[in-house]
Amino acid sequence: MLKIYGIKNCSSMKKAFDLLTQLDLAYEFHDYKKQGIDAETVKKWLNDLGQNVILNKKGTTWRKLTEAEQQAALSNEINLIHALTTHTSLIKRPVLETGQGYIVGYDEAAYNALK
């Protein structure tokens, strides 16, 4: 079973939900705005994918952080995990967990390849 992480009212998430439904792929949705996200999951993502894939520096949440907060988040893994679990909008969306690994961001071709 696929598991998709993100927030409900995001345009990328809506496209992902629509395509998964269209492809008739069952999935479980984890809304980290409502449910939060645990440090162990974030640590696994960072270890498997790297901070450049997981950390969304283009979003308003990152830009709203002060320079000191941004530098602190980037200074070590513990601080980055804390920032990502505290400010879940810093995580790129969606994160789709598949049997073969992860697809981060809306990637229509990668989703179609799951069929």
16 as an active site residue: the answer is: no
CA distances from 111 to 18, 52, 91 (A): 11, 21, 19
Catalytic residue among 1, 5, 6, 10: 10
Question: Where does 13-112 show beta strands of DSSP type E?
Answer: 27-31, 95-98, 101-104
Rg, C-alpha atoms of the chain: 14
- Catalytic amino acids? 10
